[in-house]
Amino acid sequence: MAAPAVSGLLALMQEFFQGRLHLTNSPALMKALVINGARTVAQQYDLQVANSINYQGWGLVNISNTVPPVMANGNPSTWPTVFFDQSTTNALATGESHTRELTVTTNAQPYPLRVTLVWTDPPGNPAAGTKLVNDLDLVVTNLDTGEYYVGNNIPSGSAFTVASSTNSPAPPDMINNVENVFLNRPLGKSYSITVNARRVHVNAVTAHTNGIVQDYALVISSANGSLSNAFTISPGTTPPAVLNPNPPLTVVSNGVPLLDQRVGANSPLLLAPNGATNQWNFYTFTNPTNFTNVAIITFLPPDLSRPRFSEADIDLYVSRDSGLTNLDPAVIASASKSLSRGGTEAVVFSNSTQGAVYYIGVKSEDQQGANFGLFAIASQFPFGSRDADGNLVLQGVPSGLDIPDGSPDRPRAALVFAIGVDPVNVRRVVVENTITHESGGDLLGNLSHEQKFAVLNNHRAFMGRQTFIYDDSNQGDIRFSQPVDGPGSLRDFLGTKAAGVWQLTMVDNAPTQTGRVDNLTLRIEPQDDLTNAAGIVRTILPNRWFYTFVD
């Protein structure tokens, strides 16, 4: 019954606003009005957004709260509800904010105050870890006491927001595109209401051609809908007590991937040479060892909104100069960088020292923004070498990596990376993978590179420690080798560049049994030199094959 009841309520609201007030509200404003007018169903329920079971959402809708009878007089200055709709002028870019100051009259102070923020978020990518694309924050500050209230900071067992302090600030809601601040009575006299743009990754306002912005709808009301002249609102002049909306410089630990990182969109209409601030995320990595080899990579970058076939386009910059984090043009120009058309990037150093600090910038060149992972590691040995036959040998890092125990509902994975620095063309890939596991049938191992993949082990049954050698060439010259389980084939990598990131994702999707990835070694045979006079001269064994390509 909930859906038809709310649909009917929305139809009555639209008829009232269009017929009586001559207003055409956005869907975001209609949603904000309905939520703002709802009330908790029963005392045993609360409005905490982090509950594992959502018993009531934002409560039971009530049209007399959403559209108070006094609104029929057509004089907004007397209404107990004030609202601001989405518009090109009511839009925010990353780091911007709008503040309005509220003066509560004495006849409204004995009743709760309700503030609701809603925005129409661009469609999120199902592959992204967090589906929210653009993140706005609602903050209400009591100007008399200095206390401030963060959107959706409603504790268990309560229907009202609790105050935050600068010593122990409440974490912002980075999941929902609805934020509420409900203040219990009695109220103070003066409040500021601020909407902060924490991170706006994708432009949500097509008519806004000079920035990457998100517009919003805001509703402010007294819980007593029968009041008139409950408060007055004016443009804010007092800065609210809020945290910096920009995230701090993130520290990257040696050999520990950072997942679900997010970077904003590149607007085709903003022509600044180094882009806008929301296009960048910044990190720092310190070499904790005396190893001289350091690699910094990005991986798994789906777009933040509207999935497509190719991965998002992000670039990686690394510098020893902290000016990178301030977008210093000279530092950006001199930084080590990886600027491929995709989003899997790698920067490798062979002359690092213990304690060396690297400043890392990840920049989106994609008009839809990106969700990605970041990995940095210091290694005792080079990431690649040549064997006696001139083949590239890439060693996966980290070695001896535990595979987290997963389940069908929540599969988990160990990530191992092999990093190539030689840009030769690939003719053949041979993989040696050593795994220790209590039940190998729980596992699926996927090797990916340059948007191609091959599933090495697809729930193959084994127990204990096993070494598998995979070769799909059918040349017959690798002892004890076997083809991959699939889907995909190691032959799919033929013709790609060996340089870049080779990623093994070892997925466990069954509970209880555990294990680890002990070793990953790739032997990459380069394409034959076709410029010599002899061409390709090979001996092919009986009933075997030789695969190559001509570019």
Q: Are residues 299 and 396 in the same domain?
A: no
| pLDDT band with cut points at 50, 70 and 90 for residue 268 | low
In 3D space, the residue among 174, 173, 195 whose CA is nearest the CA of residue 132 turns out to be 174
Tokens of 460: 């193959």
Q: What is the CATH number of the domain that holds 107?
A: 2.60.120.380
According to the model, what pLDDT value does residue 240 have? 47
pLDDT for residue 279: 84
So what's the pLDDT on residue 94? 83
User: How confident is the model at residue 526, as a pLDDT?
Assistant: 93
Q: Which residue has the tokens 């990106």?
A: 370
Q: How many CB atoms lie within 10 A of CB 169?
A: 14
Whether 452 and 510 map to the same domain: the answer is yes
Domain containing residue 403: CATH number: 2.60.120.260
Residues 402 and 294 in one domain: no
pLDDT at 244: 47
Strands of 253-312, DSSP E: 258-263, 280-286, 293-299
174 and 76, same domain (yes or no): yes
Quick one: tokens of 354?
Answer: 């213990």
Query: Are 200 and 64 in the same domain?
Result: yes
Contact indicator for 288, 251 with CB cutoff of 8 Å: no
Structure tokens at 99: 């503040």
Residues 171-183: tens digit of each pLDDT: 889 899 999 999 9
Are both 165 and 210 inside the same structural domain?
yes
Contact 326, 361 (CB under 8 A): no
Residue 531 included in any domain: no
Position with higher pLDDT, 244 vs 352:
352
Axis-axis angle for helices 27-37, 2-19 (nearest 10): 110
pLDDT in tens, 457-484: 999 999 999 999 999 999 999 999 999 9
- Residue 181, domain member (yes or no): yes
* pLDDT on residue 246: 47
Q: Report yes or no on 80 lying in a domain.
A: yes
Is 485 among the domain residues? yes
Question: Could you read off the pLDDT of 102-138 as tens digits, one per residue?
Answer: 999 999 999 999 999 999 999 887 767 678 889 999 9
Residue 505's identity, in one-letter code, is T
Range of the domain at 321: 250-379
234: enclosing H helix or E strand:
strand 231-235
Give the whole-angstrom CA distance, residue 215 versus residue 205. Answer: 7
Antiparallel, parallel or unpaired: β 217-222 and 113-118: antiparallel
Q: Is residue 400 part of a domain?
A: yes
> Which residues lie across from 141 on neighbouring strands?
148, 192
- Per the structure, the count of domains in the chain is 3
- Residues facing 192 on adjacent strands: 101, 141
Q: For 80-137, what is the HEC assignment?
A: CEEEECCCCCCEECCCCEEEEEEEECCCCCCCCEEEEEECCCCCECCCCCCCCCCEEE
- Residue 543 is assigned to a structural domain of this protein: no
Are 441 and 372 members of one domain?
Answer: no
Q: What is the pLDDT of residues 219-246, one digit of tens each?
A: 999 999 999 899 999 887 655 444 444 4
Q: Which of 379, 403, 429 is the last residue of a domain?
A: 379
Same domain, 352 and 404: no
User: How many whole angstroms from its chain centre is CA 321?
Assistant: 27
pLDDT of residue 309: 56
DSSP bridge pairs for 467: 434
Average pLDDT rounded to a whole number, residues 409-422: 92
Helix (H/G/I), strand (E/B), else coil: 282:
strand
Q: What percent of the chain has pLDDT over 70?
A: 93
**Two structure tokens written together for 96:** 């911007």
Helix (H) or strand (E) segment spanning residue 329:
helix 329-334
- The phi, psi pair for 78, rounded to 5°, reads -100, -5
Whether the CB-CB separation of 318 and 358 falls below 8 Å is answered with yes
Q: Please identify, among 235, 263, 288, the residue that sits at the C-terminal boundary of a domain.
A: 235
Please check whether residue 335 is in contact with residue 328, taking contact to mean a CB–CB distance below 8 angstroms.
Answer: no
Structure letter (DSSP) for residue 172:
P
Collapsing DSSP states into helix, strand and coil, what is residue 410?
coil
Domain check: are 51 and 188 in the same one? Answer: yes
Is residue 538 a part of any domain in this protein?
A: no
Structure tokens at 452: 């191609």
Q: Is 72 helix (H, G, I), strand (E, B) or coil?
A: helix
β partners of residue 457 = 445
Specify if 551 maps to a domain: no
On whether both 47 and 153 belong to a single domain, the answer is yes
90 with 167, same domain: the answer is yes
Evaluate the omega torsion of the peptide bond into residue 235 and state whether it is cis, within 30 degrees of 0.
Answer: no
Torsion of CA 240, 242, 247, 253, to 10 degrees: 160
Residue closest to 217 by CA, chosen among 140, 137, 118, 151: 118
Which contacts of 459-464 are long-range, i.e. CB under 8 A and separated by 24 or more positions? Answer: 460/485, 462/435, 462/437, 463/437, 463/438, 463/439, 464/436, 464/437
Q: What is the pLDDT of residue 539?
A: 84
302 pLDDT above the threshold of 60: no
Q: Pick from 210, 235, 260: which residue ends a domain?
A: 235
Cα–Cα–Cα angle for 96, 368, 295, rounded to 5 degrees: 95
In this structure, the answer to whether residues 182 and 39 fall within a common structural domain is yes
More confident residue, 174 or 44: 174
Averaged pLDDT of the chain: 89
Return the pLDDT at 96.
86
Q: What percent of the chain has pLDDT over 90?
A: 63
